[in-house]
Amino acid sequence: MMNGISSPCMTWVPILLKNKDPLQCLHDISAVNNCFPHLPEVDDPLSNLQAVNDPLPHLPTADDPLPDPPAVDNPLPHLLVVDDPLSELPSVNNHLHHLLAVDDPLPDLPYHIIIDILSRLPAECVFQCQRVSRPLDVLTTTPFFTHTHLNRATPVIIVQSFSQSSDRDIKLYFMDEEAKKIEATSMKLEFCSMDKKDPIMLFGSYDGFLLFRNISKWRSVFFIWNPITKQQVTLTSPRPFLYVCGFYFHPLKREYQVLFLCRSFREFEFHILTLGTKSSWRNVGSFSFPPSVERPPVIINGTLYWMVDVQHYYDVNHVYPSRKHLIVSFKIETEQFNTLQHGGCARLSRISLEKVHLLEFEGRLCLCDPATYASSTELNLWVLNPNTKWWFFKYILGLPEDQCIATWPNPFFVEVVHIKNGEMLVRQFGRLLVYNLHLGTWRILEKKGFEGDNIRALVHTHSLVSLDTHDDI
């Protein structure tokens, strides 16, 4: 506030806040200049002050009277700062052709206000701002901003269409229910030597990265891809029977790590690969119970959880694991493995256990099992009390009948994808359902563009996180 007039830099604040479309954000910021077409350029409001030794050089005289005052074309000439870099952001049609100067300053606003505004924009919009403004690029690549933006971002549903994917081109659809839109995109694989028997499958989502893997039991390939920044990392197994079973961020070491399981005929050995500028590979020991790699681990409070792989345990030990060791856990900070029991699954057979899967429910570990092995219409949900370590029966889900279609390479006919705010996303064969846990009702999500496709679905949050920066999160 200056002489009762608001700071001119505040004119772009509501513009950024009211738009969610990235290109429209840039267009509206650029349009601010057009609101004041008659303004002269003002680079320095104090540049016209006279020197001290000539304090009154233009006093009127009889020969030089005061000139007539100019017409007032713009009553508020100081509401725009013309050297504001955001006012030079290009329009929608040429947003990549006019780059700002490297030394352009940011608006005269406190940094925490600028960060608060930008952290509420979609990741794609912020990424485009980084490409046209060096100051914004510096500001929005800090660890604090990346973390704040990730926590505020709205998740979307991502669907892989197996029917439209090939060995080098993965067809994906982003479904934004809040915005009522579906966006199609493709992931171009930088490396792939798979055949149709080992398709690349969407495996998980973590910190804005999409995780893909093949289903080969001989030699595995693992892909990490950020769909916003297009950063892609390919991890190929250096030897047979080596599988990725977890991808996570280590909070103390400030680095991303990949947990590998090595299956041999006598034991289950684990290795950790550190990603980033200082990559490393090390052995972290063995454990008697192998985690299942059919689904990504559930990560809650710094601990990874999987169902135990009962078949591979049997292959090594020639007996099946007891009910006390149904779930495998791995604590990130201590790198210690453990197991959990589940008394509610005592009635399940070994075959039924292969269809049981884990997920997160309001910050707690949740177990989903079908009512029967072949059931696609009834699911049971159990939730773990973290204090008592006791499971309690929470919900019985009744789903509609559906036509049985091929779901391969999905490991399950029916699976719970995500639970949030009392609603549960379920994939039932080739369709997606949203089930209301409080009302016991369901609705089918419309799949425009891939109606009859065989699919895999996840919930994903877009981010600007980079694997190269250890302190991003």
Q: Mind spelling out the 3-state secondary structure of the chain?
A: CECCECCHHHHHHHHHHHCCCHHHHHHHHHHCHHHCCCCCCCCCCCCCCCCCCCCCCCCCCCCCCCCCCCCCCCCCCCCCCCCCHHHHCCCHHHCCCCCCCCCCCCCCCCHHHHHHHHCCCCHHHHHHHHHHCHHHHHHCCCHHHHHHHHHHCCCEEEEEECCCCCCCEEEEEEEECCCCEEEEEEEECCCCCCCCCCCEEEEEEECCEEEEEECCCCCCEEEEECCCCCCEEEEECCCCCEEEEEEEEECCCCEEEEEEEEECCCCEEEEEEECCCCCEEEEEEECCCCECCCCCCEEECCEEEEEECHHHHHHHHCCCCCHHHCEEEEECCCCEEEEECCHHHCCCCHHHHCCCEEEEECCEEEEEEECCCCCCCEEEEEEEECCCCEEEEEEEEECCCCCCCCCCCCCCCEEEEEEECCEEEEEECCEEEEEECCCCEEEECCCCCCCCCCEEEEEECCCCCCCCCCCCC
| Band of pLDDT at residue 96, cut at 50, 70 and 90 | very low
* Average pLDDT value for residue range 262-277: 87
* Higher pLDDT among residues 342 and 438, named by residue: 438
* Average pLDDT value for residue range 412-439: 91
Give the pLDDT score at 41.
43
- Give whichever of 28-32, 183-187, 444-448 has the largest mean pLDDT: 183-187
- The tokens describing 424, both together, are 């549960």
**How high is the mean pLDDT of the chain?**
77
- The tokens describing 199, both together, are 């398709």
| Band of pLDDT at residue 288, cut at 50, 70 and 90 | very high
How far apart are the C-alpha atoms of 133 and 10, rounded to whole Å? 19
* Average pLDDT value for residue range 30-51: 41
* Higher pLDDT among residues 207 and 84, named by residue: 207
Of 192-206, 250-264, 434-448, which gets the smallest average pLDDT? 192-206
Sheet holding 200-206, edge to edge: 200-206, 209-214, 221-225, 232-236
Given the structure tokens 């846990």, which residue do they identify?
437
Give the pLDDT score at 246.
95
Kindly state the percentage of the chain with pLDDT values over 90: 38
* Higher pLDDT among residues 349 and 376, named by residue: 376
| Band of pLDDT at residue 13, cut at 50, 70 and 90 | very low
Confidence check: pLDDT of 97 > 60: no
Give the pLDDT score at 78.
35
- Give whichever of 74-83, 100-109, 121-130, 387-396 has the largest mean pLDDT: 121-130
| Band of pLDDT at residue 400, cut at 50, 70 and 90 | confident
> pLDDT digit string (tens) for 308-323?
998 889 889 999 888 8
* Average pLDDT value for residue range 19-25: 45
Given the structure tokens 């892989």, which residue do they identify?
160
Give the pLDDT score at 218.
72
Confidence check: pLDDT of 73 > 60: no
* Average pLDDT value for residue range 24-29: 46
Give the pLDDT score at 240.
79
Global pTM? 0.76
Give the pLDDT score at 249.
96
> Is 276 in contact with 260 (CB distance < 8 Å)?
no
* Average pLDDT value for residue range 80-109: 43
Confidence check: pLDDT of 7 > 80: no
